[in-house]
Structure 1
Amino acid sequence: MNIHIKTIYKKELLEIKQDKPLIASLLALPLILGVIFPTIFLSLGYDKSFLLSTEKISPMIKHFSSIIPNDINGHTEILYIILMYIFLPLFLIIPISISNVISSSSFVGEKENKTIEGLLNTPITNKELVFGKILSSVIPSILITWISMFIYGILIDVFGFNIFNKIIFPNFEWIFMALILAPMITILSIQLVICISSRVKTSKSAQSVAIVFIFPIVAFVISQASGLLIFGIWMEILLSFIILIINIIIFYSITTKIDREKLILNL
C-alpha cells in the first residue's frame, strides 16, 4: 500500500477508535438487523398459529417457487422467504449508513475542525487522498456488516434448524451480496459524500447521501414482497456491474476535478 494512503488510513482509523459515541451509533443498526429481527421471526417460527396464518400470503410463494429449495415446504416456506430474501437487501443499509457516518465525519469533519488546509498542503495527490478516505470508511463498514451477517446466520442455522430441518444460511445470493455488491455500493456511497463535501460545511448535511440509497432498498423489499421483482443473484450481478462502472467514473472525476483551493476557501 502506498505510504501516503497508509498514513491517511491509519489516521482515520485512530480518530474513529477515539470517538466512542460514534462507535456506539454505528453498532445500533447491525444489532437490530443482525440480532433482534431474526430472533423475533425465529421465535414466531415455533408458533404454529403464526405459521398457519401465513397461508393468507401464500401467493408470495409462487413468485419464489423457482428459487426455494425443494426440501423447504409446508408452512415454513414463507418464513424461509422472509429470512433469506426479504431481509437480504435490508442488510445493504448497514454498510451504507455506517460508511456515510464515517466518511462525512472524516472528510467534512476535516473542514469543521479546520484541519483540511494542512492536509491539502501536503504532497499527497488527489488520488491518494480520495483512496485513503475511501479505504478508511469502507473497511470498517464492510467488517461490521460481515460480523452482523455472521451473527444473523448463526442465529438462523442454530435456532432455525428445528424449523427447517437443515442449515439454510448462507446461500449464493448472500455470499455474493457480502463479497461483491455490498463493497461496491458502499464505495459509491462514500464517493458521493466526497462529491458533496465541497458544497456543505457540516457532516450532518453530507450524511443525507444515505437517503438516496435507502429509498431504492426499501423499494426492493416492497417489490419482492409483492412479487414484482426478485432480488436474486442475476439482479445482484447486474447491479454490481453497473455500480462498478459508476464507481470508476466518479473516482476519476473526483480525482481530476477536485479543487483544493476551493475546499480551503470554503472552510
Structure 2
Amino acid sequence: MIDRHRVRALMRKDWRELARNTQVIASLVILPLVLVVIIPSAVLLLGNNSAALTTTVAGLQGFLDNLPVQALPAGYSSEQLMVYAVIVYFMAPLFLLIPVIVASLTASSSFVGEKERGTIEGLLYTPLTDRELVLGKVFASVIPAVLLTWTSFLVYTVLVNTLGASLMGGLFFPTWTWAISVLALVPLVAFLATCLIVAISGRSTTMQGAQGTVVLIVLPVIALILGQATGLMLFDTLIAGIVAVALLAIDVAIFRTVVGRFQRERILTRL
C-alpha cells in the first residue's frame, strides 16, 4: 500500500532543491523559448518570404517537398500553406523534445543528485518503501515537465494565432493532432524519460552520466522528425494515437521493471 503523504513529502523536498538550482532553472527556460517563441515567430514573420523561411529553418524545404497535399487545407495560398505546414506539422514532433529535456534535467538529479549532496544515505534509511521512493522521484520530475510543456503549448497557441491571424485569415491552431500530443503524449513521454533516468541515476556517480539516458528517448522523437522530412510518414492524428497507445504499454512495463530492480542496499554499497 502506497502512503501518499510520504510520496508527496519526498516530491516537495525535491522541488525545493530544484528551485534552489539556478543553473537547472535557466536551462529549463532555453528550450521552450526557442521552440515556442523564436522559431514560430520567425516562421510567421517571414511567412510572405518563402525563400527566407526555407533558408532560416533547417530541413524545412525537404519536409515541404514530401508533405502530402491532402494533409493541407484547401483554399490556402502558397504562403499560407507553408506557414500551416510548419506550425501544425513540422513543429509537432519537435515539441515533444520539451518534456524529454525537462524531465532529463530534473530526474538526473534524483538519486545521483542525492549522492553528490551527501543526502542519499539518510533518504534510503527513511520509512519510504522502494515503490514509494521510485514513485516520488518519478513524479517529482514528471509533474514539472508536464506543467512546463502545457504552459509552453498555451504560449505557442496564443502566439501563432496572434501573429498569424492576418496572414491565415483567422484562428487556425490547435488541431486534433496537437490535442492528442499535448494531453496524452507529453505526460507519457515525460514519464518514460523520467523512469529510465531514475533507474540509471541509482547506478550513476554523476548527473552527467545519468543525463546520457535521455538519448534513448530523443532518438524516437528524431525518428519522427526524419520520417516527416523524408516523407516516410506524417505525424497526424492516427500516428499520434498509435504512439500514445504504445507509450502507455511501455510506460507500465518500464515502471514495473524499475521498481522491481530497485535495491537500496546496492545503492548504499556503492556510496
TM-score higher than 0.5: yes
Alpha carbons of structure 1 residues 125 and 63: separation in structure 2 relative to 1, 3 Å? same
Q: Which moved more, 1:75-84 or 1:57-66?
A: 57-66
In structure 1, what is the Cα distance between the partners aligned to 2:90 and 2:151? Answer: 19
2:103 paired with 1:127: no
Q: Which moved more, 1:133-142 or 1:206-215?
A: 206-215
For residue 142 of structure 2, what is the amino acid of its counterpart? V
- Give the structure 1 partner of residue 5 of structure 2: 3
- Give the structure 2 partner of residue 70 of structure 1: 74
For residue 264 of structure 2, what is the amino acid of its counterpart? R
Instruction: Extract unaligned runs of 5+ from structure 1.
Output: none
For residue 22 of structure 2, what is the amino acid of its counterpart? K
2:227 paired with 1:223: yes
Contact 1:58/1:78 (CA < 8 Å) preserved in 2? no
In structure 2, what is the Cα distance between the partners aligned to 1:228 and 1:202? Answer: 39
User: Shift of residue 16 of structure 1?
Assistant: 1.1
Instruction: Extract unaligned runs of 5+ from structure 2.
Output: none
- Give the structure 2 partner of residue 39 of structure 1: 41
Alpha carbons of structure 1 residues 71 and 166: separation in structure 2 relative to 1, 3 Å? farther
User: Shift of residue 168 of structure 1?
Assistant: 1.2
Contact 2:99/2:186 (CA < 8 Å) preserved in 1? yes
User: Shift of residue 265 of structure 1?
Assistant: 1.2
After superposition, give the CA deviation of every residue in 1:100-148 in whole Å (9 maximum; x if it has no partner). Answer: 0100112210122221111111111111111111111011111111122
Q: Matched residue of 2:109: which SS?
A: helix
Contact 2:47/2:82 (CA < 8 Å) preserved in 1? no
Alpha carbons of structure 1 residues 57 and 121: separation in structure 2 relative to 1, 3 Å? closer
User: Shift of residue 220 of structure 1?
Assistant: 1.5
**1:1-150 to 2 correspondences below 5 Å:** 2-47=4-49, 60=64, 63-150=67-154
TM-score normalised by L of structure 1: 0.92
Number of equivalences? 265
TM-score normalised by L of structure 2: 0.91
For residue 257 of structure 2, what is the amino acid of its counterpart? S
Alpha carbons of structure 1 residues 58 and 89: separation in structure 2 relative to 1, 3 Å? closer
Identity across aligned pairs (percent)?
33
